[in-house]
């Protein structure tokens, strides 16, 4: 009887589960149709670690839905599923996405929760003005001057040992983008065309756009660039100064995109002037939320 149960599950249910997951949809079937936790199946072909059906469902959903932050799902009205990648973004003017990190209470904010369980955060205030690259190169992986500064001086001198232990090296998207393009999907693909693996970088230009809750008015580079009202529907526009993004401009080989003091996307020479720097990094999926609700007065805490 046990072997028949295994075979039935293997042939009929696993494919059905995968079909649901591949569409990234939520279904009450997952809660009502599948057998209880004590029913085992042969998972040698699936590569999953679980020895029961419910565990397999949990792992499968972890690939696509819902995202996990350590062992806790972040649930907030401002957390939206991204239609372009398997990511969940905090959007709007002031979502509850504050975190205490590096002994800085509410000094950082969550950009997105990734489907691999990592959490991308950015500093809420500038760490100063820096050149993107003193030689005029827009290749972040070269490494650019700012790349070296963030991953050597800033990482070693400004981040605590605990903070360093919570950071995981990941791929950052560093591809060039077309300034003023009105197709966000194209821009994201352009960003993703080149990757750099490291610990500290910046946000991409598309991440700035995706943090905006007003998609119809502010949901592309061209719309966001010339509408002053877009600054009021994103939490990332918290400074009154211009700051760098990670995205080089394909319009000019010496330019990288930045956010100006009005909250618009613009571009500037990477070796001139020096924009403000708001570091971005990924917290390991092993990091657990230990308290807080994400508000500025009660930010998330981690261990």
CB atoms within 10 A of CB 196: 19
**Domain identity same for 215 and 258:** yes
Q: Is 72 within the bounds of a domain?
A: no
Q: Is 86 within the bounds of a domain?
A: yes
Give the residue-averaged pLDDT of 71-78: 53
**Domain identity same for 48 and 132:** no
State what percent of residues in the chain have pLDDT above 90.
Answer: 53
Full-model pTM: 0.78
**Domain identity same for 41 and 158:** no
Q: Is 145 within the bounds of a domain?
A: yes
**Domain identity same for 83 and 44:** no
Q: Is 294 within the bounds of a domain?
A: no
**Domain identity same for 41 and 103:** no
**Domain identity same for 193 and 105:** yes
- The answer on pLDDT for 13 being more than 80 is no
Give residue 98's pLDDT. 94
**Domain identity same for 135 and 218:** yes
Q: Is 7 within the bounds of a domain?
A: yes
Q: Is 225 within the bounds of a domain?
A: yes
**Domain identity same for 86 and 227:** yes
Total domains in the chain come to 2
**Domain identity same for 200 and 270:** yes
- The answer on pLDDT for 71 being more than 80 is no
Residues spanned by the domain of 103 = 79-283
**Domain identity same for 133 and 22:** no
Give residue 6's pLDDT. 44
pLDDT digits (tens, 9 = 90+) for 187-223: 999 999 999 999 999 999 999 999 999 988 888 887 7
**Domain identity same for 50 and 84:** no
**Domain identity same for 137 and 277:** yes
Q: Is 60 within the bounds of a domain?
A: yes
Model confidence at 74, pLDDT cuts 50, 70, 90, reads low
Q: Is 149 within the bounds of a domain?
A: yes
Mean pLDDT of the chain: 79
């Amino acid at each position: 009887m046990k072997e028949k149960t295994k075979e039935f599950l293997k042939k009929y249910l696993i494919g059905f589960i995968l079909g649901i997951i591949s569409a990234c949809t939520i279904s009450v079937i997952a809660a009502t149709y599948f057998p209880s936790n004590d029913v085992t199946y042969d998972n040698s072909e699936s590569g999953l670690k679980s020895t029961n059906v419910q565990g397999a469902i949990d792992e499968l959903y972890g690939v696509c839905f819902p995202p996990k932050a350590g062992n806790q799902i972040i649930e907030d009205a401002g957390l939206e599923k991204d239609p372009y990648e398997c990511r969940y973004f905090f959007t709007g003017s002031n979502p509850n996405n504050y975190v205490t990190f590096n002994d800085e209470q509410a000094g950082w904010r969550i950009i997105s929760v990734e489907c691999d369980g990592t959490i991308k955060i950015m500093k809420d205030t500038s760490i100063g003005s820096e050149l993107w690259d003193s030689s005029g190169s827009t290749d972040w992986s070269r490494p650019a001057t700012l790349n070296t500064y963030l991953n050597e001086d800033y990482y070693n001198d400004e981040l605590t040992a605990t903070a360093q232990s919570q950071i995981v090296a990941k791929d950052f998207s560093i591809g060039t983008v077309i300034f003023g393009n009105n197709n966000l999907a194209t821009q994201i693909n352009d960003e993703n065309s080149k990757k750099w693996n490291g610990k500290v970088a910046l946000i991409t230009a598309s991440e700035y756009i995706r943090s905006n809750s007003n998609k119809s008015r502010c949901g592309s580079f061209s719309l966001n660039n010339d509408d002053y009202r877009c600054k009021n529907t994103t939490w990332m526009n918290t400074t009154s100064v211009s700051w760098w993004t990670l995205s080089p401009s394909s319009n000019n080989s010496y330019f990288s995109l930045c956010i100006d003091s009005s909250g618009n996307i613009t571009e500037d020479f990477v070796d001139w002037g020096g924009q403000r720097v708001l570091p971005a990094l990924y917290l390991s999926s092993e990091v657990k939320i230990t308290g807080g609700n994400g508000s500025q007065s009660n930010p998330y805490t981690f261990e």
